[in-house]
Chain A
């Protein structure tokens, strides 16, 4: 690793201050599972300052209040998937975090790092978007909030400034009768990045009619989003294999309308449709 200046503090204020002084070549360090790999590659633009936020306790924890869950960014994947709150009220996020990398990576990698790194295969992002997540960024002089689905520009690029720290992720609890799932397709059964993934939520009324549907594919679109066209096909309908198949096909169609036909489309087109159908099936039993 090339040399850099290392700064740390266990207080958010001080971190923000350090960042405000550091200029654009500062990099925030959380769990390090993305950043250390990047540093080892000796990128052309090498950070001059590493600002370690991993000691800041204010940035840790998962809290519930009033139908909302606040996830602090330093929550590791392990902490999230072990959290009772998440399991009960945001099940798909629990499922997603349990499938990330390996035990060692889950113990270290944080949800904040996963979001801020903004890789197309980031596994917490589709569930978070399905949960209508809102995030808060703070710098020395500003506080900004984003809807998570508005936050990404393209893979590895977000709307955050270098001196901003992601301080909070807020999601809506899923209604008691909603069902959710996250399906990840990788090349092997562990230590696998998502070739494709789907986050889905379904809620039915007493008659079995679908009253809420959310579908967010991962590693499929240039940036993540709910596929409203497919979701709307479901609202007011009763679950059924043909309906779900049609919704899957719609997701494929929308995907291609964004990406065009590319080298990988031949594979992704049928597979994303199948994964969406499966996810919806899982949410309706």
Chain B
């Protein structure tokens, strides 16, 4: 059956880039070195908010071994960049807005000299008041970060009549939730090597995620046309959405130094520099107010969210748009009013990170649904099955779901696997032992790809060589998630060849078309579709040559296992290599270019509705935990993750995305927190920013559900983000099941679980600072 439908699709083919990665030969950005390279370093801000009065670089310039010291004044073109709002400075010139802002750059013969030179740069500041809390930043008298309004995005969703919805309700439940800054924690810190190029431009190789947007900024900064700025992606040591603007800044800075000195310039961030400068996942403060009937149905959802955008706009407009679209979760509700307000502060700026605006809201939604379940005396699975979307449902944004809505399928499959309901009941009433068990569930629906957020198109090239080997390249990049491999598998499937024939070329802006950013789980669906089309183009040429060669009709021929075969008899008529050689001899093109533009979507910003995404994915995570009620320590002991991803192009990389996504979600729920106090970050390396280790991650049972979707290549959709976005709420709900205490603020660390709030040392030693009281209002309406 299914199994035999495809040769390569769905198989655990090994990653195309894996050999180099196990032998140490794979070249990551910092592994590139050339003779006479200089080392670049950045002077960063001393205060989180200050006007720059004067930068004196003369002493630094005179240090032997220093070849250039540059400030914003030395930028010939645009001094600012930004994907949506162009207000991020390459080097700060008017003000510094957070501690990671760069002011000056140095190129020197050694790293040590460059660092020494930084210390010799003198900056005069006028220190400005700092604002770090989004709700304070919207006050009229708050210090302004850019212009005269700190609010820079306000997305809305409006559906039905919210007042009427609350009137119909039997209960009204209000809660406040908060999430933390999260550091992407790609294991490879940012690095690049920039070299002056023959034509007066630059050639950059490095750990860049979104090559094309970085290229645009470098070109604008240097007043160069795009064709003179070449950016090549080195093997990327993880990104998770994180190597975008921070890399753009690094590219611009290194390119400036390279052009100025005429020499190659290497720039590498230490982990501390990386954590200080790089953008994070947005912290959200979320006010959820739901009206419910005593049967558990939801009559109204009023949601207000403040997102901390930090010092620059970055991807905030897109990220928070996904939040507004998905803020109600996959639950029926006629009356919805959602507002997501994003503000500037003097914190690290926030942008794209795996999940892209969903992990925050899913924490709130999936906590709320459990809260209402308890209120009406249902269990968490029942309430989800009762309220969850089915095919034909109308979402909060008024979109009718026409594809296969498999929410209930994933819920039931996951629940069955772990015997959810029985365990949940049992754990609810367990004895008084200090170590308590709990189980929690969370589900989600998630729009695939960018959606109405932006133009969504990508290109892939498949080029057959005269010996029958194949090169695939794409504008979609691989960050470790296996996108390359999936594109190669698709090409191999279409061409009837084995994977060992294919090499993937690292993305190079001068050789492949601008395909937008590889974010929002676009890799498989966009790059993959484009690969399919490219391979199909080549295939049709090959087949017509094959027909000429053999005299058979195209219809009876097929390509299989590196051979041209007779479909009926299975007889091998020629090898793929012979066919390729023949094709070349006949002067036919063996090069295919595939372009894929996503199906249409729509959005009405003013009135807050539209067909936000062309399709959605559905998933459920269930966590089983052990809570030490005497210390607050939580161990996740069991995990089930069921996701409908359309089709798994590569089972092994898909499983990897399940496991990795859940692990990252576990960190979000229990451990990770990038704290910024008065604009000063507290965790700058992995001794304090705590990632889960191999001893913190339980075994994870992955359930792959495959309902092919017409929108994706071979029916495939996406997986990288869904597994990640609902791990934390499953854990939080499990903690509640164990302890009867609900966590409203992430992460659920020792103190929060034991005491219900975090401890912070603030101000003078010894003083105790408690978090503000949680907002918990429940009202039973008298009718």
Instruction: Tell whether, in the assembled complex, residue A266 and residue B755 are in contact, meaning their CB atoms are under 8 Å apart.
Output: yes
Q: Tell me the A77-116 residues at the B interface (CB within 8 Å).
A: 102
Asked if A260 is at the interface (CB within 8 A of a chain B CB), the reply is yes
Instruction: Tell whether, in the assembled complex, residue B750 and residue A267 are in contact, meaning their CB atoms are under 8 Å apart.
Output: yes
Q: Tell me the B586-624 residues at the A interface (CB within 8 Å).
A: none
> What 0/1 pattern do residues 170 to 210 of A give for CB contact below 8 A with B?
00000000000000010111111001000000000000000
9 nearest CB pairs, A to B: A274-B630, A189-B695, A190-B695, A190-B693, A263-B761, A262-B766, A263-B768, A188-B696, A189-B696
Instruction: Tell whether, in the assembled complex, residue A275 and residue B631 are in contact, meaning their CB atoms are under 8 Å apart.
Output: yes
Q: Tell me the B754-780 residues at the A interface (CB within 8 Å).
A: 754-755, 759-762, 765-769
Cβ–Cβ < 8 Å partners of A264 in chain B: 759, 761
**C-alpha spacing A192/B686, complex, angstroms:** 11
Instruction: Tell whether, in the assembled complex, residue B766 and residue A270 are in contact, meaning their CB atoms are under 8 Å apart.
Output: no
> What 0/1 pattern do residues 740 to 762 of B give for CB contact below 8 A with A?
00000000011100110001111
Q: With both chains docked as a complex, state the minimum distance between the C-beta of B622 and any C-beta of chain A, in angstroms.
A: 21
Asked if B680 is at the interface (CB within 8 A of a chain A CB), the reply is no
Cβ–Cβ < 8 Å partners of A189 in chain B: 635, 693, 695-696
Besides A267-B759, A270-B630, 17 more A-B contacts (Cβ < 8 Å) are: A187-B671, A187-B690, A188-B671, A189-B695, A190-B694, A192-B690, A260-B766, A262-B765, A262-B766, A262-B768, A263-B759, A263-B769, A266-B768, A271-B631, A271-B754, A274-B631, A275-B630
> What 0/1 pattern do residues 223 to 267 of A give for CB contact below 8 A with B?
000000000000000000000000000000000000011111111
**C-alpha spacing A188/B434, complex, angstroms:** 19
Q: Tell me the B655-702 residues at the A interface (CB within 8 Å).
A: 671, 690, 692-696
How many of chain A's residues touch chain B, expressed as a range? 20 to 34
Asked if B633 is at the interface (CB within 8 A of a chain A CB), the reply is yes
**C-alpha spacing A185/B767, complex, angstroms:** 24
Option from A185, A190, A263, A265 in Cβ contact (under 8 Å) with B633? A185
Q: With both chains docked as a complex, state the minimum distance between the C-beta of A275 and any C-beta of chain B, in angstroms.
A: 7
Q: With both chains docked as a complex, state the minimum distance between the C-beta of B661 and any C-beta of chain A, in angstroms.
A: 19
- Who on chain B is nearest to A264 by CB? B759
Cβ–Cβ < 8 Å partners of A275 in chain B: 630-631
Q: With both chains docked as a complex, state the minimum distance between the C-beta of B685 and any C-beta of chain A, in angstroms.
A: 10
Cβ–Cβ < 8 Å partners of B631 in chain A: 185, 271, 274-275
Cβ–Cβ < 8 Å partners of A274 in chain B: 434, 630-631
Q: With both chains docked as a complex, state the minimum distance between the C-beta of B115 and any C-beta of chain A, in angstroms.
A: 9
Enumerate 9 A-B pairs (CB-CB under 8 Å) in ascending A order.
Answer: A192-B690, A263-B761, A264-B761, A266-B755, A267-B751, A267-B754, A267-B755, A267-B759, A274-B630
**C-alpha spacing A188/B632, complex, angstroms:** 12
**C-alpha spacing A262/B631, complex, angstroms:** 18
Q: With both chains docked as a complex, state the minimum distance between the C-beta of A247 and any C-beta of chain B, in angstroms.
A: 15
Cβ–Cβ < 8 Å partners of A262 in chain B: 765-766, 768
Q: How many residues of B contact A (CB 8 A)?
A: 27
Cβ–Cβ < 8 Å partners of A265 in chain B: 768
- Who on chain A is nearest to B270 by CB? A40
- Who on chain A is nearest to B762 by CB? A263
Q: With both chains docked as a complex, state the minimum distance between the C-beta of A199 and any C-beta of chain B, in angstroms.
A: 17
Cβ–Cβ < 8 Å partners of B762 in chain A: 263
Cβ–Cβ < 8 Å partners of B692 in chain A: 188
Instruction: Tell whether, in the assembled complex, residue A188 and residue B754 are in contact, meaning their CB atoms are under 8 Å apart.
Output: no
Instruction: Tell whether, in the assembled complex, residue A263 and residue B695 are in contact, meaning their CB atoms are under 8 Å apart.
Output: no
**C-alpha spacing A187/B689, complex, angstroms:** 11
Asked, given contacts A263-B759, A263-B760, A271-B754, whether A187 binds B749 with beta carbons under 8 Å apart, the answer is yes
Instruction: Tell whether, in the assembled complex, residue B759 and residue A188 are in contact, meaning their CB atoms are under 8 Å apart.
Output: no
Cβ–Cβ < 8 Å partners of A195 in chain B: 750
Q: With both chains docked as a complex, state the minimum distance between the C-beta of A242 and any C-beta of chain B, in angstroms.
A: 15
Option from B694, B754, B765 in Cβ contact (under 8 Å) with A270? B754
Cβ–Cβ < 8 Å partners of B434 in chain A: 274
Cβ–Cβ < 8 Å partners of A102 in chain B: 693
Cβ–Cβ < 8 Å partners of B765 in chain A: 262-263
**C-alpha spacing A107/B690, complex, angstroms:** 22
Q: With both chains docked as a complex, state the minimum distance between the C-beta of A205 and any C-beta of chain B, in angstroms.
A: 29
**C-alpha spacing A268/B315, complex, angstroms:** 41
**C-alpha spacing A210/B242, complex, angstroms:** 58
Instruction: Tell whether, in the assembled complex, residue B754 and residue A263 are in contact, meaning their CB atoms are under 8 Å apart.
Output: no
Instruction: Tell whether, in the assembled complex, residue B751 and residue A191 are in contact, meaning their CB atoms are under 8 Å apart.
Output: no
Q: With both chains docked as a complex, state the minimum distance between the C-beta of B592 and any C-beta of chain A, in angstroms.
A: 48
- Who on chain B is nearest to A187 by CB? B690
Cβ–Cβ < 8 Å partners of A260 in chain B: 766
Instruction: Tell whether, in the assembled complex, residue A188 and residue B755 are in contact, meaning their CB atoms are under 8 Å apart.
Output: no
- Who on chain A is nearest to B749 by CB? A187
**C-alpha spacing A270/B754, complex, angstroms:** 10
Cβ–Cβ < 8 Å partners of B755 in chain A: 266-267
**C-alpha spacing A189/B749, complex, angstroms:** 13
Cβ–Cβ < 8 Å partners of B694 in chain A: 190
Cβ–Cβ < 8 Å partners of B769 in chain A: 263
**C-alpha spacing A262/B768, complex, angstroms:** 7
Cβ–Cβ < 8 Å partners of B761 in chain A: 263-264
Cβ–Cβ < 8 Å partners of B693 in chain A: 102, 188-191
**C-alpha spacing A81/B438, complex, angstroms:** 34
Most buried by B among A187, A191, A260, A267: A187
Q: With both chains docked as a complex, state the minimum distance between the C-beta of B595 and any C-beta of chain A, in angstroms.
A: 46
**C-alpha spacing A260/B767, complex, angstroms:** 11
Q: With both chains docked as a complex, state the minimum distance between the C-beta of A73 and any C-beta of chain B, in angstroms.
A: 24
Q: With both chains docked as a complex, state the minimum distance between the C-beta of B750 and any C-beta of chain A, in angstroms.
A: 6
**C-alpha spacing A274/B754, complex, angstroms:** 12
Q: With both chains docked as a complex, state the minimum distance between the C-beta of A285 and any C-beta of chain B, in angstroms.
A: 16
Cβ–Cβ < 8 Å partners of A188 in chain B: 671, 690, 692-693, 695-696
**C-alpha spacing A188/B765, complex, angstroms:** 26
**C-alpha spacing A263/B767, complex, angstroms:** 5
Q: With both chains docked as a complex, state the minimum distance between the C-beta of A192 and any C-beta of chain B, in angstroms.
A: 8
- Who on chain B is nearest to A40 by CB? B270
Q: With both chains docked as a complex, state the minimum distance between the C-beta of A256 and any C-beta of chain B, in angstroms.
A: 12
Instruction: Tell whether, in the assembled complex, residue A271 and residue B630 are in contact, meaning their CB atoms are under 8 Å apart.
Output: yes
Cβ–Cβ < 8 Å partners of B633 in chain A: 185
Q: With both chains docked as a complex, state the minimum distance between the C-beta of A185 and any C-beta of chain B, in angstroms.
A: 6
**C-alpha spacing A3/B633, complex, angstroms:** 43
- Who on chain B is nearest to A102 by CB? B693
Most buried by A among B434, B630, B754: B630
Cβ–Cβ < 8 Å partners of B630 in chain A: 270-271, 274-275, 278
Cβ–Cβ < 8 Å partners of B695 in chain A: 188-190
Q: Tell me the A93-146 residues at the B interface (CB within 8 Å).
A: 102
**C-alpha spacing A121/B754, complex, angstroms:** 21
Cβ–Cβ < 8 Å partners of B749 in chain A: 187
Q: With both chains docked as a complex, state the minimum distance between the C-beta of B735 and any C-beta of chain A, in angstroms.
A: 15
**C-alpha spacing A265/B767, complex, angstroms:** 10
Cβ–Cβ < 8 Å partners of A190 in chain B: 693-696
**C-alpha spacing A278/B630, complex, angstroms:** 10
Q: With both chains docked as a complex, state the minimum distance between the C-beta of A245 and any C-beta of chain B, in angstroms.
A: 11
**C-alpha spacing A263/B751, complex, angstroms:** 12
